[in-house]
Amino acid sequence: MSVRILALVGSLRAGSHNRQLAEAAVKHAPEGVAIELYEGLADVPFYNEDLDVEGSVPAAAARLRESAGSADAFLLFSPEYNGTMPAVLKNAIDWLSRPYGAGAISGKSVAVVGTAFGQYGGVWAQDDARKAAGVAGASVLEDVKLSIPGSVTRFADLHPADDSEVVTSLAEVIGRLTEHATAAAV
C-alpha cells in the first residue's frame, strides 16, 4: 500500500527552517511513501463559520480540504511563536476540523515535529499543535516527537536534508507515522 502524507508548515517565511525540514522529509521519504509539501496556507482566510457555508467556502480553504481529504496522514511542522504554534497552522487545523466529526483531519494519523531557535526546539508549540489536532478529531501520535533546538545556528550553513542526524530522526518519524496510517486503514 502506498501512503500519502500531507505536510503542513507553520511558517510562511521563504527561508524557514521548518520549511527546510519539510523539504528534507519530502526528499528522504522512503519508497511507498509520498509526502506532499502543501503550498498555499497563506491564502487560507481565518476560519469563520460565516464563510464556511456549503457552496461558498473560499477557494483556498476548499483546496486545502480537498488535498487533506486525499491524504492518509499529516506531518505538521511547527516553529514556536511566543511560546505557541503559529496562527497559520492553527487556522489550517480549524478549517480541516469542520464539519466537526467529519472534517478532512478526522480519524487520520498526525505527527508533529519542528525546529526553533530556542534551547527546546519549539516543544510548547508542538504540544499545542498535537492538542489542537487531537481535539479536531485526528489520531495524534503523542509519543512521536522531533524538536530540534538552535535552528538559526544549526542550519545557518547546512540544509536539514544534508544533516545526517536530522535525516535519521525524520526517517523514524515518517516510519512510525506510516505504520500508524497503514494500521488505521486496515
Predicted local confidence at residue 186, as pLDDT = 74
pLDDT score of 127: 98
> CA–CA distance from 140 to each of 98, 104, 132, 135 (Å)?
17, 14, 10, 10
Predicted local confidence at residue 1, as pLDDT: 66
What share of the chain in percent tops pLDDT 90? Answer: 96
Residue 118 is predicted with a pLDDT of 92
- pTM for the predicted model, two decimal places: 0.97
> Which residue numbers in the chain have pLDDT < 70?
1
SS3 122: coil
What domains can be seen in the chain, in order of their start residue?
3-185 (3.40.50.360)
Write b or e for each residue in 160-177: b if 16 or more Cβ atoms lie within 10 A of its Cβ, otherwise e.
bbebeebeebbeebbeeb
For 122-131, write each residue's pLDDT tens digit.
Answer: 999 999 999 9
